[in-house]
């Protein structure tokens, strides 16, 4: 995964070194770091075109252009029980905001399963 943003690659390597319990604890801690989309970017009710498809936690995403040509990602998670979605939002913001766009575009669609592994749940979405 050398062609994805290096902070994401490093996080995946770190997650890969953790056992199931350690990974779950780490992801719970990351969910506490989740920052809701600021009102300057979006306010409720959020537009449907920002909804993350097939996410049971009612997650929404925005990409804000930065002066350096990169993007700053913002997320909202409407389900108060959406701990996994909040962890995912925190991870993606931390590891993809400010990164070269060609590397962000190379992040595979199955990144959610890579991060959470087979043993941890991200809900029943496809």
- Residue 96 near residue 8, CB atoms below 8 Å: yes
| pLDDT tens-digit series, residues 41-100 | 999 999 999 999 989 999 999 999 999 999 999 999 999 999 999 999 999 999 999 999
Residue 87 lies in a domain: yes
CATH of the domain at 89: 3.90.1010.10
- Residue 2 has a pLDDT of 72
Task: Give me the DSSP letters along 33-84.
Answer: T--BPPTTT--SSPPGGGBPTT-TT-EEEEEEE-TTS-EEEEEEE--TT-HH
- Residue 78 near residue 58, CB atoms below 8 Å: yes
Domain residues for 84?
6-116
- Residue 126 has a pLDDT of 43
- Residue 65 has a pLDDT of 98
Number of folded domains that form the chain: 1
Query: At 106, is the pLDDT very low, low, confident or very high (cuts 50, 70, 90)?
Result: very high
Residue 123 lies in a domain: no
Residue 52 lies in a domain: yes
Residue 71 lies in a domain: yes
Residue 124 lies in a domain: no
The yes-or-no verdict on residue 120 having pLDDT over 80 is no
The yes-or-no verdict on residue 124 having pLDDT over 50 is no
Q: What mean pLDDT value characterizes the chain?
A: 93
Which of 58-62's residues contact partners 24+ apart within 8 Å by CB, and which partners?
A: 58/82, 59/85, 59/88, 59/89, 61/89, 62/37
Tokens of 37: 């989309």
Please give the average per-residue pLDDT across 8-33, as a whole number.
Answer: 94
């Amino acid at each position: 995964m050398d062609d994805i943003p290096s902070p994401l690659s490093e996080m995946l390597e770190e997650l890969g070194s953790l056992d199931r319990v350690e990974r779950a604890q780490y992801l719970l801690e990351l969910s506490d770091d989740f920052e809701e989309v600021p009102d300057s970017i979006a306010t409720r009710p959020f537009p449907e075109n920002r909804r993350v498809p097939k996410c049971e936690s009612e997650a929404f995403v925005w990409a804000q252009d930065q002066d350096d040509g990169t993007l700053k990602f913002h997320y909202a998670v409407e389900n108060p029980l959406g701990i996994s979605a909040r962890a995912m939002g925190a991870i993606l913001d931390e590891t993809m905001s400010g990164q070269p766009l060609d590397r962000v575009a190379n992040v595979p669609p199955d990144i959610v399963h890579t991060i959470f592994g087979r043993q941890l749940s991200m809900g029943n979405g496809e």
